[in-house]
Amino acid sequence: MSRALAYPYDVPNRSYVIHAGDVTPVESNQHLEDLAEGLENRTPVIACGSNQSPSALAWKFALAEDGPVPVVRIRLADFDTVYCAHFAGYGSVPATLHQSPGTTVTLFVNWLTDTQLAHMHTTETTRGNYVYGDLSNLSVDAEYGPAIDRAGAYVTTIGAFALDGRAVPLAEVEATGRPHPALRQRDLIQSLLDLHGLADTVETFVQRNIDDEDERERRQALIRIGALPFQYSAFEPRG
C-alpha cells in the first residue's frame, strides 16, 4: 500500500544518470556524455510519472549490464502530467501526458538505448493501458543534452481521469499555468471515494485494489466515467 500512496515517488530537482541503482547528478553537458557513454544512439522518452524517479528506474534497470540510464530534466510547454483513468496492479492511479495549452510542466527525458527501450516497453505496455509513440513539434527546454523537438512517450489508451469534467494534474510535479487544481495521490483517491459515495477509507480502497484483481476491475468502471482521451495531432503510435 505504501508504494501506491507514494506514487510518483522521489521525483528529483535535477538531471541525473542511474546505473545499477547508483545515482550520479549531472554537472555539465560533457559530464552527461561521459556518464551516458554517449547519447547519439539513444532515444529520448518523456517520463511523466514514476519513470522520473530514481527508485522506480532502479527497479527496472537493476543490473550493471543494463547500462547507464541518463535522466534529463526538461520543461515541456503546452502539456501537463495528469492521472490516468485506470488503477495499476499495485494500487495507485498512475500518470499520463495530457495536452494543456498555456501550461509548462517540469518533467524528465529518459535517454534509452534500443535494448533499454525494449525493456521499458515490457514494463509499460503489456497490460494494454499505455501505447508507445512519437510526439513531434514539441517545445522543450532541456537542462542538459541536445535540443529536443521530438520524443517518445507512453500515452494512456483509456484516457485521463476526469473530475468535474477536467483532467487532474499531479501535485508532486512542478508546473506553471495550470488551469485546474493539482492533487496528490491520496487526495485523488479520496476525491474518487467522495464522488461515488463509497464508504472505504483511502487505505482500505487501495488495499482491496491490490488484493482483489476482480474487484479492481469492477472499480475500473468508476474511474473511467467521463475519461478524457489523449488528443494531440502530432502523436504517432508505434505499437
Task: List pLDDT tens digits, range 198-223.
Answer: 889 999 999 988 999 888 888 889 89
In this prediction, residue 216 carries a pLDDT of 87
Cell of 166: 477536467
Q: Where are the domains of the chain?
A: 2-237
186-200 pLDDT, tens digit each: 999 999 999 888 889
Q: Calculate ∠ Cα 56-123-181, nearest 5°.
A: 60
In this prediction, residue 1 carries a pLDDT of 66
Domain 2-237: homologous superfamily in CATH: Gamma-glutamyl cyclotransferase-like (3.10.490.10)
Q: What is the pTM of this model?
A: 0.95
DSSP per-residue string spanning 149-164: S-EEEEEESS-B-EET
Q: What is the DSSP letter of 170?
A: B
192-212 b/e (C-beta count within 10 Å ≥ 16 → b): bbeeeeeebebeebbeebbee
Q: 43, 111 in Cβ contact below 8 A?
A: yes
Cα–Cα distances in angstroms (integers) from residue 113 to residues 37, 61, 87, 146, 196, in the given order: 11, 12, 29, 16, 44
3-class DSSP state of 126: coil
